[in-house]
A = this chain, B = another copy of it.
């Protein structure tokens, strides 16, 4: 149970912790409108298939959301979820929350 939670946050961090994937996230971060995958694969200079796979990972982790518009798929950053998760971890690390041994 604790393990599951640890694994989940580890997976989130791992998904973010790869250069091209983080570049995609940054790219999405700068545009307020959802972007399609083709646009995104330009931001890091990789094959479309590579961008596609990275976006799949990001989606699986809930970092981005996907919407299908005709033949194009637009991705949007799940800002709230990612920010919240990161802050939760930051709080835990900084405050050693609750558990006060000293």
A residues adjacent to B (C-beta < 8 A): 6-7, 9-19, 21-23, 25-26, 29-33, 77, 79-80, 82-84, 86-87, 89-94, 96, 99, 101-102
Contacts and interface: CB of A to CB of B under 8 A. Distances in A.
Nearest to A99: B30
B13 A16 contact: yes
Closest 3 CB pairs of A and B: A13-B17, A14-B17, A83-B94
A19 B17 CA distance: 13
- Copy tally for this chain in the complex stands at 2
B18 A10 contact: yes
B13 A26 contact: no
A17 B10 contact: yes
